[in-house]
Amino acid sequence: MDIQITVNNILLENKKISEDVKELKSTVSKQQTEIADLKKQFKKSTTQLAAAEKELDEAKKRINYQREEIADLQDRLEQYWWTGNPSSLVNGS
C-alpha cells in the first residue's frame, strides 16, 4: 500500500512539474519575442540617431559658412563706412 501511495505522489509531482515546464516554455517564448522586438526597435533608433547626427553636422557646417559670410559682409560694410567706396561692398577690396 505504501508503494502505491508513493507512486501516486510521484505521478502527481511529475504532472505538476510538466505543467510548470510548459508554463516556463511559454514564458521563454514570449520573452524571446519581446527581445526580438526590442532589438528591432534598438536598430531603428540607432539608424535614426545616425541620421540625426549627420543632419546636425550638416547644419553646423551651414551655420559656420553663414557666420563666415556674415563676418565678410560686416568687414566689407565697415570698409565702405570708412572709405565711402561702394566697390568695397562688391569685391571686398
Task: Check whether 79 has a pLDDT greater than 70.
Answer: yes
**What would the pLDDT profile of 26-64 be if each residue is shown by its tens digit?**
999 999 999 999 999 999 999 999 999 999 999 999 999
* Distances 80 to 66, 77, 86, 93 between C-alpha atoms, Å: 21, 5, 6, 10
Which structural domain range is residue 80 located in?
A: 2-91
**What would the pLDDT profile of 59-71 be if each residue is shown by its tens digit?**
999 999 999 999 9
- List, in order, residues 6 or more apart from 78 with CB less than 8 Å away: none
Supply the pTM of this predicted model. 0.60
Tell me how many domains the chain contains: 1
